[in-house]
């Protein structure tokens, strides 16, 4: 797979309990990432990953392959 390959998907909604709230659950964005593209990019089942979140951006880094197994 070419580096930088892009795929557009739709975020789903998932209800999550709200702490200290009288009105129950809150819908939050949910992303399920599974694909042969992940394997082609060097990710394997069981790898530890680091997810960096900034405004409108998610970066997923494979910590296992970089020898920095944290957490």
Contact between 45 and 61 (Cβ < 8 Å): no
Instruction: Report which of 47, 37, 54 is spatially closest to residue 3, judged by C-alpha positions.
Output: 37
- Tell me the residue range of the domain where 50 lies: 34-71
On whether residue 27 sits in a domain, the answer given is no
On whether residue 59 sits in a domain, the answer given is yes
On whether residue 39 sits in a domain, the answer given is yes
d(CA 19, CA 42) in angstroms, rounded, equals: 37
Count of domains observed in the chain: 1
On whether residue 6 sits in a domain, the answer given is no
pTM, full prediction: 0.67
Q: What is the pLDDT of residues 10-62, one digit of tens each?
A: 999 998 887 766 667 888 899 988 888 889 889 999 999 999 999 999 999 99
On whether residue 56 sits in a domain, the answer given is yes
Give the residue with greater pLDDT, 23 vs 7.
7
23: which DSSP letter?
T
């Amino acid at each position: 797979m070419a580096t930088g390959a892009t795929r557009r998907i739709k975020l789903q909604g998932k209800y999550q309990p709200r702490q200290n709230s009288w009105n129950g659950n809150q819908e939050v964005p949910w992303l399920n990432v599974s694909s042969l593209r992940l394997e082609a990019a060097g990710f394997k089942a069981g790898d530890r990953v680091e997810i960096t979140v900034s405004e409108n951006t998610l970066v997923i880094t494979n910590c296992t392959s970089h020898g920095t197994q944290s957490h």
